């Protein structure tokens, strides 16, 4: 399928999920995950109106970033090692994978050196799968408290990855739990400003995520496709 057809198809499914759940279309943002495709394909997507690009490794995204930053907003969605923070801060507009204090401290240090503030999602491993990155829900309070001292990090929301499921519907409890966690944190005034965002939902489960409150869905294969030699 051509990119334009995929974009139209995804857009229709997003609108239907919004309608089913009484949500406004403009409250759901799409990050096009380009990690499986070439810089040329990513550039084509941007020229067709894609505004947000998601990547999970700096070396693989460098060419795309050099070509497209300024034209698209860049989201770092992969697990982030502390020693790789220098590659990401100052380049990516959002980090979706903040999940521990040492990482936050390194982001703070780099952002301070560049005199910028980095909007971050806190990644939570809701499902408890050992293979998933992210903190345990019980760790959120402590990280929230520590972040109060890190003025270069702006917590904007929570992020999660649902376990691979044969049926999208099986992911619903994970997404619902993430929304509840966000609402609980906000009720406790855990952050200087309420968290407004939920980054959840991928190609296989984005409609369920939207029904459960996702404000950012991260779509790779279904939207920009997959290429053998990216």
The footprint of ligand PLP (CB under 6 A) covers 33, 35, 56, 77-78, 161, 202-204, 218-222
Q: Is 61 exposed, middle or buried (0-12, 13-18, 19+ CB in 10 A)?
A: buried
Q: Which residue, 190 or 210, is less far from ligand PLP as judged by CB?
A: 210
* Residue number with the smallest Cβ distance to ligand PLP: 220
Output the smallest distance, CB 78 to ligand PLP, in A: 6
Alpha-carbon distance of 1 to 5, in angstroms, equals 6
Output the smallest distance, CB 77 to ligand PLP, in A: 4
Output the smallest distance, CB 180 to ligand PLP, in A: 21
Alpha-carbon distance of 154 to 120, in angstroms, equals 6
Output the smallest distance, CB 41 to ligand PLP, in A: 14
Structure tokens at 2: 């051509």
Output the smallest distance, CB 6 to ligand PLP, in A: 12
Q: Which residue, 48 or 203, is less far from ligand PLP as judged by CB?
A: 203
Output the smallest distance, CB 189 to ligand PLP, in A: 29
Q: Which residue, 103 or 190, is less far from ligand PLP as judged by CB?
A: 103
Contacts of 60 (CB under 8 A, 6+ apart): 35, 230
Q: Which residue, 137 or 220, is less far from ligand PLP as judged by CB?
A: 220
CB 150 within 8 A of CB 103: no
């Amino acid at each position: 399928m051509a990119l334009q057809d995929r974009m139209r198809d995804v857009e229709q499914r997003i609108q239907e999920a919004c309608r089913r759940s009484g949500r406004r279309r403009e409250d759901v943002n799409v990050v096009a995950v380009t990690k499986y495709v070439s810089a040329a394909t990513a550039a084509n997507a941007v020229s067709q109106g894609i505004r947000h690009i998601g990547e999970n490794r700096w070396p693989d995204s460098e060419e795309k970033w050099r070509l497209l930053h300024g034209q698209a907003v860049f989201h770092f969605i992969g697990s982030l090692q502390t020693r790789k923070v220098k590659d990401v801060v100052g380049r990516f507009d959002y980090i979706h994978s903040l999940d521990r204090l040492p990482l936050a401290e390194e982001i703070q240090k780099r952002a301070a050196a560049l005199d910028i503030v980095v909007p971050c999602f806190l990644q939570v491993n809701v499902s408890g799968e050992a293979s998933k990155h992210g903190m345990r829900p019980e760790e959120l309070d402590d990280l929230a408290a520590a972040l109060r001292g890190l003025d270069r990090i702006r917590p904007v929301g929570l992020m999660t990855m649902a376990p691979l499921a044969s049926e999208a519907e099986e992911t619903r409890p994970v997404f619902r739990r993430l929304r509840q966690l966000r609402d609980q944190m906000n009720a406790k005034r855990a952050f200087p400003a309420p968290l407004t965002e939920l980054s959840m939902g991928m190609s296989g489960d984005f409609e369920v995520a939207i029904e459960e409150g996702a404000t950012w869905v991260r779509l790779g294969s279904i939207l920009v496709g997959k290429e053998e030699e990216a």
